[in-house]
Every structure is written in C-alpha cells, then in structure tokens.
Amino acid sequence: MVVTVRDVLGDALFSTASPCVEVAVGDLDESVRWVFTNEREDVASFLAGGELLVVEGRSLVADGREPRLGAYVKSLVKAGVAALVVELVEEVTDLPAGLMSAARDEGLTVIGLHRRIPFVDICQNVNTMIVRGQMRMQMQVDVMSTSLRAELAQTSDVRSIADVIARLFDESVAIFDMDGLEVARVGQHVGDDAGGNAVLALSDQIRPLGALEISQRNTTFDEPMRRRIGQIVSPVLALYLDGGARVGMVAHLVAGPADGVHVTSMEAREGHAMLEALGFAAASVYMPFGMRLKSVAGAMPAICAMIEAFESHEGYESVCLLEGDLLIGFFAAKDSGGDVVRFSGHCLKALDQASADDRIYTVHSHAALDTISLVDAFGALRTMLNLRGDSDGNDENPYGTLACTDATLLERMQDVERTDDAVRMVVTQTVGYELLHNSTLIDTLCACFDNLDNKTGACEQLGIQRQTLYNRLDKVTQIVGISSSDKMSWSMLLLGAKLVQSQRNRMPSATVALV
C-alpha cells in the first residue's frame, strides 16, 4: 500500500488539526515517502524526494524570509517534496502571498493546519502508516513470489510461462522477444486499454530478453511487484529466448558509452568490430533512435509498418532491440552514396510516421558516419529518454511526439556538475568526432555564430567568397546531416563549434582532451 497526500488528509489524527488544502495545483495522489519537519531555509538540501514537509507558519516570515519565499518553493519542488504542510495558528493564520503565488506557479501542493497538534504526533502517526503499508506490500510480494516460482518450475516453453502468469494474476499476458516479436499471448485484453497495461523489462544480466506485458483489469502492479516478477520470470525465459551473438553485439552498441557521454578508444574499437561483424561496412551511415512505448502490444503494428516502409528503399536496413518499454536501435544505409541529407530525410519521415501513434514517444539523434558518433548518440538518447517518468512509475513521456536530442541538450548540460564535462558533452553531441578535427570547418561555423548566422558577415570575417562559404557549409551538412534550415539543431551545432574553438584557443591540447 502506497500512502498518498490524499490518504494523509483523511487520517483521523491529522484531521484533528483542521487541515485545508490552500494550494491544490499539485497531485493529491502523490505518494508520501516520509513525513519530515525542519524549518531551515535550505531544508531542500536534506531531502531525497517524496517527503511531506511540516513547518510553522511563523517560520516563513521570520528573519526577513518573505522576499525569498519564491526561491524556497522552487527548491522544494526541485527536491521533489510531495507537499508542504504549514501550521497556521496564532501569529500567522494565512499563507504569505508570496508563498501562495510561487506554489501555484511551481505546482507545489500546500496544506494549512488551522488547529495546533504536536508535529511529533503527525510524524509518528503518518510514518507508522507508511511503514505498515510497506510491510503489507512486502508480504503480498513475498506470497506472490513463492507461488510464481513454484508454478514456473513446471513450465516447458514460453507459452506455458505466459499461461502461468495469466492464471496466477487472472490477467491477459503477452511476451515479446528482444527483436520485438510476439512469442506468446494469453487472453484477449492485453491489447485493450493499452495505456493501462504493465510493461516489464526482461533481461538475463548480460543482455535484454524483451518485454512482458500484463493487463491490469483485476490487479494493479506497482513498481516493487513489477521488479520482483521480472526478476523471477527472466531466468526462466532466458532458457527459451536466445538471440545469440548478434543480439549480444547489438546490445553492446546500443548501450552507449560507459560514461554516458563519449566512448573511449577501446570502446570505439570494439564497436567498430561489432558493426563489421553485423555486416555494416565503412561506407555505412546511421540514424540512431529510441522509443518509449506505453504498450508494446499496442505500438508494434505502427513500428512494424515504419520498418517495412523504411526498408523498402534499396540498401536501407534497421537494427532494433527491445528492453521492456524501450525500443532502441538505428536505421542504416550500407552505401548512402554520400547523400546524408537524403538518408536523414527518409529516416525522419519513417520515425514521424510511427510517432503519430499516441502510444509511442520517439527521440532521434543526428546522422552518424562513424562508430564513435553512433555509440555516443546512444548515450544522449538514453539520457533524454530517461528524463521522463520517475522511479515511482509516474509516466510523463509525451507520447505521440517526435523529438531530437538537441531539444534537451542545454537542460542536460546544466545537470553535469563539472564545467569541462558539460563542454565535452555538448561538443560530442553536436560537432561529433569527424568534424571536431576539421579546423577550417570549425572556424567557418564559428564565424556564422559570431555574425548571428549572417552569411555576408561570416564571409567578411573569414575573408572568403560567398560560394566558398556555401561549399564549406554543404560539407558540414554532409558530415553531420544537419542543414541551416533545421534552426534548433543548427543553433546547437554553432554553439558546439564555438566551444571547440574556445577550448582550442585556451589550450592547444584541449581539443585532444575532447576526443
């Protein structure tokens, strides 16, 4: 049982404090991880998320804090508090206007207590409720685990595994392998109301095995139960789902760099060898992409249609791997004929076709002409796809949309602690490996940056003719697959080039450090 803000409001002891929801823009069904009381202005630095924070109203106006209440609210929202509870008795009986305004703007639920009860009683009572709920939940998971293990011990194939799960939970079940192919289905409802299904990732600790999708008509599968089911079912399914060496190589490539940003020399060599083993020659060009699926069963028809349409072009192939609700992979042309823009256009058309489905959220990177750019792109894709949703299972993915990794680049850069690491990330995900080493093209892009992309000003700064500038920019487009008509990505590319130049001017060896 998960205790929510709404549950706390309905608690008998809490009700004696005459609680009133003063600001209700937040979610009253937000889960409460713990109740905590601390009136320090910098309390957010002590929070882990999900807390119900209890404070006295007079503490909010003490020591001239009122002008800083907006920043206080922002810090609480950033820390992920479930709600702020304020005692409004005696000296302060109304919320400060600044706090109410900031709470509405930032989406923070604020509850006022209009009768005094000891904070220790609130903390003890609600925290006991939370612990009891967790213990009950754990007991339910343990009972389920024992029954599931016993039943699975009698299975002999994937279909019988699906039968066991469907019978135990009285739900419809579908199992998909790592290529996204449906290998078993029991029941008629796994495709109905697909947004309400539970999608579990299956893996054998080395590589992904695919996905298990279960309807939730009779049972709600919270995150702990989903994890436990996945842990129990995966080893059994691993006996029957084996993609061989090919799946292992694809899994290694789409995992991205170990640091999530840029491959090491060893990773680049391993990735190149795997691409060759998969049949992709040095002339290949790639378009990495990832998809979050609200329902694998519901989304697969659109994905299959996308792949079929893309591969109808001669020399075009697709490589994908299913990891629970994540489908990640790349489009490839073994010989693009040097026309990267044309290839990118075909890729984006195919992805746009699939992303029209409201069960699919699609993110793509830029065209990659080498192993380093390809593997780096998977790091960016995974980071962006993981920005949405949270550990409590709240799904905030903008399904039915297509986005580029550039859309969140600056946001992701702010989350990097060290400045040099942030610069390295931007350069890696915009300029890329090949363009990084072409100082002429970098200087050309920087001239465009300096002149707000005015071509006349860039030509004057570089001392070149306009046709020479266009020839250089065309070469940039062929390398990275971005043209100046793509305003957002082009702006990020110019920024990346400027960072490369600034590093190079600051320290001659700095460019080497970015590789």
pLDDT at 515 over 60: no
Lookup: tokens for 220: 């709600």
pLDDT, tens digit, 9 for 90 and up, residues 325-358: 999 999 999 765 567 888 888 999 999 999 999 8
Can you give the pTM of this predicted structure?
0.72
Average pLDDT over residues 43-60: 90
H/E stretch holding 214: strand 208-214
Per-residue confidence band for 300, with pLDDT thresholds at 50, 70 and 90: very high
pLDDT at 408 over 70: yes
Burial 361-394 (b: 16+ CB within 10 A, else e): bbbbbbbbbbbbbbbbbbbbbbbbbeebeeeeee
Q: How many CB atoms lie within 10 A of CB 196?
A: 13
Q: Write down the domain spans for the chain.
A: 5-127, 154-237, 244-410, 416-514
CB 278 within 8 A of CB 288: no
| CA dihedral of 64, 70, 75, 79, whole degrees rounded to 10 | 130
State the Cα–Cα distance between residues 477 and 367, nearest whole angstrom: 10
Average pLDDT over residues 142-164: 89
5-127 architecture in CATH?
Answer: 3-Layer(aba) Sandwich (3.40)
Tell me what pLDDT residue 394 has.
Answer: 47
Domain 244-410 superfamily per CATH: Ribosomal protein S10 (3.30.70.600)
Lookup: tokens for 138: 């754990």
H/E stretch holding 19: strand 19-23
SS3 399: coil
Percent of the chain with pLDDT over 70: 93
Is 57 or 392 the better-scoring residue by pLDDT?
Answer: 57
State the Cα–Cα distance between residues 442 and 310, nearest whole angstrom: 33
pLDDT at 389 over 60: no
pLDDT at 86 over 70: yes
Residues 6+ apart with CB under 8 A from 491: none
Per-residue confidence band for 303, with pLDDT thresholds at 50, 70 and 90: very high
**Of 201-210, 306-315, 405-414, highest mean pLDDT:** 306-315
DSSP class per residue in 172-191: -EEEE-TTS-EEEEESS-TT
State the Cα–Cα distance between residues 20 and 86, nearest whole angstrom: 10
Tell me what pLDDT residue 392 has.
Answer: 43
pLDDT at 208 over 60: yes
The dihedral sign for the CA sequence 471, 472, 478, 484: negative
CB 398 within 8 A of CB 388: yes
Mean model confidence pLDDT for the chain: 88
State the Cα–Cα distance between residues 474 and 91, nearest whole angstrom: 69
State the Cα–Cα distance between residues 182 and 175, nearest whole angstrom: 6
SS3 324: coil
- 5-127 with 244-410: one CATH topology? no
- Burial class (CB within 10 angstroms; exposed 0-12, middle 13-18, buried 19+) of 448: buried
Tell me what pLDDT residue 241 has.
Answer: 87
Average pLDDT over residues 192-199: 70
Q: Lowest-pLDDT range, 120-124, 165-169, 280-284, 319-323?
A: 280-284
Per-residue confidence band for 364, with pLDDT thresholds at 50, 70 and 90: very high
Burial 87-97 (b: 16+ CB within 10 A, else e): bbbeebeebbe
Average pLDDT over residues 11-34: 88
pLDDT, tens digit, 9 for 90 and up, residues 451-506: 999 999 999 999 999 999 999 999 998 888 888 888 889 999 999 999 999 888 76
pLDDT, tens digit, 9 for 90 and up, residues 92-143: 899 999 999 999 999 999 999 999 999 999 999 999 988 887 777 677 677 8
